[in-house]
Amino acid sequence: MSTKAHSTFAIKSWDEKPYDEFDDGRKLTKAHVNFTYSGDMLGEGTIEYVMAYAPDGSAQFVGMERIVGRVNGHVGSFVIQHAGSYSGKTTEGTWEIVKGSGTGDLEGISGSGNSSSKGEDDTHIFTLNYDLAQEPAPAA
């Protein structure tokens, strides 16, 4: 039975560099990003993004992120695979937990989720639907 974790996240740092640029504004970039999470999931994440920008500034992205922290009281880490899009104002993404990546209380974690940010307030919302292979007792 899946459990849900609802959280918000903030960008702690963002270092993006182009590695291929076109005359019409298109470009490919790589970004090293750090996030902080609060809510049902507390902790920090580090991700490497690869992004493809269109001339209008919109983009498609993929990435791998390691999250270290606590999910509904379970302490450990896991890796998620991201895919999504950026319109210039909003971001929408889906996440999939990488099989075998869980550590600590989160060993055996599986699941997926989604994230979104809307508007200028930079509020990022994250929902994770997950299962634990062995349901450890939550940490005190």
Total-model pTM: 0.88
CATH of the domain at 42: 2.40.350.10
- Residues of the chain falling short of pLDDT 70: 1, 119-122, 134-140
Q: Which domain holds residue 15?
A: 3-131
In sequence order, what DSSP letters do the residues of 90-118 get, joined into one string? Answer: -EEEEEEEPTT--EETTTT-EEEEEEEEE
Query: Which residues have C-beta within 8 Å of that of residue 16, sequence separation ≥ 6?
Result: 29, 30, 31, 49, 51
3-class secondary-structure state, position 135: coil
- Is 84 within the bounds of a domain? yes
Domains: count for the chain: 1
66-107 pLDDT, tens digit each: 999 999 999 999 999 999 999 988 899 999 999 999 999 999
Six token digits for residue 59:
């983009």
- Is 136 within the bounds of a domain? no
